Amino acid sequence: MQKSEEERSGQPADRAAREAGYQALADAERWASLGAGAPRFADRVAAADSAAAAHGRLVAGVRPQGPDGRLDEAEARVRPEDWWEALARAYHWQLLTALAYGVQLDPEPQQWAADRLAEAAADPVLADRLELVRRRLAGEALVLRHALGTR
Protein backbone atom coordinates (compact mmCIF):
# COMPACT_ATOMS: atom_id res chain seq x y z
CA MET A 1 0.00 0.00 0.00
CA GLN A 2 1.39 3.38 -1.01
CA LYS A 3 1.40 6.22 1.50
CA SER A 4 0.02 9.64 0.64
CA GLU A 5 2.30 12.67 0.52
CA GLU A 6 0.86 13.77 3.85
CA GLU A 7 1.59 10.40 5.47
CA ARG A 8 5.16 10.31 4.09
CA SER A 9 6.12 13.83 5.10
CA GLY A 10 3.97 14.19 8.20
CA GLN A 11 2.57 17.48 6.88
CA PRO A 12 -0.40 18.42 4.71
CA ALA A 13 0.28 18.12 0.97
CA ASP A 14 -0.69 21.77 0.37
CA ARG A 15 1.87 22.88 2.95
CA ALA A 16 4.57 20.84 1.22
CA ALA A 17 3.54 22.39 -2.11
CA ARG A 18 3.72 25.93 -0.66
CA GLU A 19 7.18 25.14 0.73
CA ALA A 20 8.26 23.87 -2.69
CA GLY A 21 6.87 27.11 -4.12
CA TYR A 22 9.07 29.11 -1.77
CA GLN A 23 12.04 27.00 -2.80
CA ALA A 24 11.30 27.91 -6.45
CA LEU A 25 11.06 31.61 -5.54
CA ALA A 26 14.38 31.46 -3.68
CA ASP A 27 15.99 29.69 -6.66
CA ALA A 28 14.70 32.35 -9.07
CA GLU A 29 16.08 35.14 -6.89
CA ARG A 30 19.44 33.43 -6.48
CA TRP A 31 19.88 32.85 -10.24
CA ALA A 32 18.68 36.37 -11.10
CA SER A 33 21.23 37.93 -8.74
CA LEU A 34 24.07 36.30 -10.69
CA GLY A 35 23.41 38.29 -13.85
CA ALA A 36 24.71 41.70 -12.83
CA GLY A 37 28.15 40.52 -11.79
CA ALA A 38 28.66 37.91 -14.48
CA PRO A 39 32.10 37.97 -16.12
CA ARG A 40 30.69 37.25 -19.59
CA PHE A 41 27.55 38.30 -21.41
CA ALA A 42 26.75 34.65 -22.09
CA ASP A 43 26.73 34.07 -18.33
CA ARG A 44 24.20 36.88 -17.86
CA VAL A 45 21.90 35.32 -20.43
CA ALA A 46 22.32 31.83 -18.96
CA ALA A 47 21.64 33.09 -15.43
CA ALA A 48 18.44 34.72 -16.73
CA ASP A 49 17.43 31.42 -18.35
CA SER A 50 17.99 29.58 -15.06
CA ALA A 51 16.00 32.23 -13.16
CA ALA A 52 13.20 31.90 -15.71
CA ALA A 53 13.13 28.11 -15.27
CA ALA A 54 12.84 28.50 -11.48
CA HIS A 55 10.16 31.16 -11.94
CA GLY A 56 8.29 28.74 -14.20
CA ARG A 57 8.22 26.22 -11.35
CA LEU A 58 6.87 28.94 -9.06
CA VAL A 59 4.11 29.91 -11.50
CA ALA A 60 3.16 26.28 -12.19
CA GLY A 61 3.00 25.32 -8.51
CA VAL A 62 1.28 26.43 -5.34
CA ARG A 63 2.16 30.00 -4.35
CA PRO A 64 4.03 30.30 -1.06
CA GLN A 65 2.12 32.21 1.62
CA GLY A 66 5.26 33.43 3.33
CA PRO A 67 8.95 32.79 3.67
CA ASP A 68 10.37 29.51 4.88
CA GLY A 69 12.73 30.60 7.63
CA ARG A 70 14.47 27.22 7.64
CA LEU A 71 15.56 27.68 4.03
CA ASP A 72 16.52 31.32 4.52
CA GLU A 73 18.53 30.60 7.66
CA ALA A 74 20.40 27.70 6.06
CA GLU A 75 21.22 29.78 2.99
CA ALA A 76 22.34 32.77 5.06
CA ARG A 77 25.04 30.64 6.68
CA VAL A 78 26.75 30.21 3.30
CA ARG A 79 27.37 33.71 1.95
CA PRO A 80 29.34 33.95 -1.31
CA GLU A 81 32.43 36.15 -1.45
CA ASP A 82 32.48 36.59 -5.24
CA TRP A 83 30.66 35.68 -8.44
CA TRP A 84 32.21 32.21 -8.64
CA GLU A 85 31.09 31.32 -5.13
CA ALA A 86 27.63 32.73 -5.90
CA LEU A 87 27.48 30.52 -9.00
CA ALA A 88 28.52 27.46 -6.98
CA ARG A 89 25.96 28.29 -4.31
CA ALA A 90 23.14 28.80 -6.84
CA TYR A 91 23.91 25.58 -8.68
CA HIS A 92 24.56 23.24 -5.76
CA TRP A 93 21.98 24.77 -3.41
CA GLN A 94 19.21 24.37 -5.99
CA LEU A 95 20.08 20.70 -6.49
CA LEU A 96 20.33 20.03 -2.75
CA THR A 97 17.16 21.89 -1.76
CA ALA A 98 15.22 20.29 -4.59
CA LEU A 99 15.98 16.95 -2.95
CA ALA A 100 14.95 18.28 0.46
CA TYR A 101 11.66 19.69 -0.85
CA GLY A 102 10.94 16.80 -3.22
CA VAL A 103 11.12 18.96 -6.34
CA GLN A 104 11.84 17.72 -9.87
CA LEU A 105 14.23 20.00 -11.76
CA ASP A 106 14.86 20.38 -15.46
CA PRO A 107 18.67 20.13 -15.53
CA GLU A 108 19.09 21.83 -18.90
CA PRO A 109 18.81 25.48 -17.81
CA GLN A 110 21.60 24.99 -15.27
CA GLN A 111 23.95 22.98 -17.50
CA TRP A 112 25.91 26.15 -18.22
CA ALA A 113 26.62 26.48 -14.48
CA ALA A 114 27.97 22.92 -14.34
CA ASP A 115 30.12 23.67 -17.39
CA ARG A 116 31.44 26.93 -15.89
CA LEU A 117 32.21 25.21 -12.59
CA ALA A 118 34.08 22.51 -14.51
CA GLU A 119 36.10 25.27 -16.22
CA ALA A 120 36.97 26.68 -12.80
CA ALA A 121 38.64 23.36 -11.95
CA ALA A 122 41.57 24.48 -14.12
CA ASP A 123 42.52 26.91 -11.33
CA PRO A 124 43.37 24.77 -8.29
CA VAL A 125 42.89 27.59 -5.77
CA LEU A 126 39.47 28.51 -7.19
CA ALA A 127 38.48 24.86 -7.48
CA ASP A 128 39.33 24.29 -3.80
CA ARG A 129 37.28 27.32 -2.72
CA LEU A 130 34.30 26.17 -4.76
CA GLU A 131 34.57 22.65 -3.34
CA LEU A 132 34.42 24.13 0.17
CA VAL A 133 31.25 26.01 -0.78
CA ARG A 134 29.73 22.78 -2.12
CA ARG A 135 30.60 20.91 1.07
CA ARG A 136 29.21 23.65 3.33
CA LEU A 137 25.99 23.60 1.32
CA ALA A 138 25.78 19.82 1.59
CA GLY A 139 26.00 20.13 5.37
CA GLU A 140 23.32 22.81 5.43
CA ALA A 141 21.13 20.66 3.19
CA LEU A 142 21.37 17.78 5.67
CA VAL A 143 20.24 20.08 8.47
CA LEU A 144 17.42 21.42 6.27
CA ARG A 145 16.26 17.94 5.29
CA HIS A 146 16.16 16.97 8.96
CA ALA A 147 14.15 20.11 9.80
CA LEU A 148 11.73 19.32 6.97
CA GLY A 149 11.40 15.74 8.09
CA THR A 150 12.69 14.33 4.80
CA ARG A 151 15.40 11.77 4.29
pLDDT in tens, 93-141: 999 989 888 888 888 888 999 999 999 999 999 999 999 999 999 999 9
Pairwise CA distance, residues 61 & 104, whole Å: 12
Query: What global pTM score does this model have?
Result: 0.85
DSSP 24-88: HHHHHHHHHHHSTT-SSHHHHHHHHHHHHHHHHHHHHSPPPSS--HHHHHHHHTS--SSHHHHHH
CA 66 to chain centre: 18
Predicted confidence band of residue 13 (pLDDT cuts 50, 70, 90)? low
Domains of the chain: 11-148 (1.20.1260.10)
pLDDT digits (tens, 9 = 90+) for 47-103: 999 999 999 999 998 889 899 998 899 888 989 999 999 999 999 999 998 988 888
